[in-house]
Amino acid sequence: MTMECVNPEGLRLDVRQIQNSSHQTLETRMTPILMKGHERPLTFLRYNRDGDLLFSCAKDHTPTLWLAHNGERLGTYRGHNGAVSCCDVSRDSSRLITGSADQTAKLWDVKSGKQLFTFNFGSSARSVDFSVGDHLAVITTDHFMGVSSAIHVKRIAEDPQDQVGDSVLVLQSPDGKKKINRAVWGPLNQTIVSGGEDTVIRIWDTETGKLLKQSDVEVGHKEAITSLCKAADDSHFLTGSHDKTAKACLWDMRSLTLIKSYTTVVPVNAVAMSPLLNHVVLGGGQDASAVTTTDHRAGKFEAKFYDTILEEEIGGVKGHFGPINALAFNPDGKSFSSGGEDGYVRLHHFDSNYFNIKI
């Protein structure tokens, strides 16, 4: 697997060679670990806080747990009857929460795989996210049969026997017919940040349910927001979209000010930020129905790396034979994973050359 960098003329060169005035190609070689445990396209990836476990979700109904260093499959979580769109794991790695098209979100015991509780809704559960402290969870649900898309806040009991399904807070989407693809907690659990098909990013007050801010349609995304991930310190977040420019935007968490923008030539399905370096990675690709999946180059099924500050592309990692639907950095910043339409999870450990890349 090659991590290669692109100069302005389009030749694929390692950027370190430009600084050294050398025109020889020096490529960073990374051999991925291919993890085949899903029968259908991947939808989401999540590392635990310690970075030793990786959770994957797919359209095959069965969230899967892997060892993050070697890709060994540890087990699966069986109980959903629909595609699983999202998951999150508690800070102590004891509990998993998943959201599914079967109109439920489920709490699981990570170690045993036992279902602890099921939250029932009248439509698909699209996104899930534990709060800081794991005492709350935010869950988004889709529009269906007269039920508007919404954001639900659930209290998570310490003892599963005390768990109830009632919502502490329900936030109705201004456009109830469009999906809220992602909702995450803001700093100190004081806000919720959401984004979805209506292209607008919103910040909500978790005490009152009041809408505090929303993105300017003139400077924000022009098409559906597909993904949203936070920085490790909660100071900013990154969003990806199906814009014609396939733009991924970096926003300030409190002011909702657009800080940076990263542009690629294909729709963006997934975004991630390195916790170690000033790098962001974007993944996507043309829809499988629009291009052949026999050659990954045809659909540009590539994870693209960008310098966070300069907004310049610094490299790409190929390999998937379909659009990339999920991306995640290990919390230690020394590896990342990608999940594709092809049903594979690809685990990449960076070699030393990656950490020496300079612009």
Burial per residue of 44-77, b for 16 or more beta-carbon CB atoms within 10 angstroms, e otherwise: bbbbbeebebbbbbbbbbbbbbbebbebeeeebb
pLDDT of residue 135: 97
Q: What is the DSSP letter of 16?
A: H
Per-residue confidence of the chain (359 residues) as pLDDT tens digits? 333 333 332 223 233 332 333 323 334 567 899 999 999 999 999 999 999 999 999 999 999 999 999 999 999 999 999 999 999 999 999 999 999 999 999 999 999 999 999 999 999 999 999 999 999 999 999 999 888 999 999 999 999 999 999 999 999 988 878 999 999 999 999 999 999 999 999 999 999 999 999 999 888 899 999 999 999 999 999 999 988 555 778 999 989 999 999 999 889 999 999 999 999 999 998 765 555 544 444 457 899 999 999 999 999 999 999 999 999 999 999 999 999 999 999 999 998 888 887 66
CB atoms within 10 A of CB 172: 11
What is the distance in angstroms between the CA of the first residue and the CA of the last residue of the chain? Answer: 22
What is the model's pTM?
A: 0.89
Instruction: Name the maximum alpha-carbon separation found in the chain.
Output: 66
pLDDT of residue 290: 59
Query: Which residues have a Cβ under 8 Å from the Cβ of 283 and sit 6 or more positions away?
Result: 268, 269, 270, 271, 302, 303, 304, 323, 324, 325, 326, 327, 338
Residue 307, Cβ density class (10 Å: 0-12 exposed, 13-18 middle, ≥19 buried): buried
CATH class label, 33-349? mainly beta
Angle value at C-alpha 4, between 259 and 268, nearest 5 degrees: 45
pLDDT of residue 174: 87
Give the pairing type, strands 211-214 and 247-252.
Answer: unpaired
Q: Residue 322: CA atoms inside 13 Å, Cβ hemisphere, count? A: 17
Q: Pick from 41, 10, 95, 24: which is nearest to 288 by CA?
A: 41
Contact 76, 37 (CB under 8 A): yes
For residue 154 the two structure tokens come to 């659930």
Name residue 172's beta-bridge partners: 150
pLDDT of residue 289: 58
Run of H or E residues at 18 = helix 15-19
Name residue 182's beta-bridge partners: 195
**Amino acid identity, position 123:** S
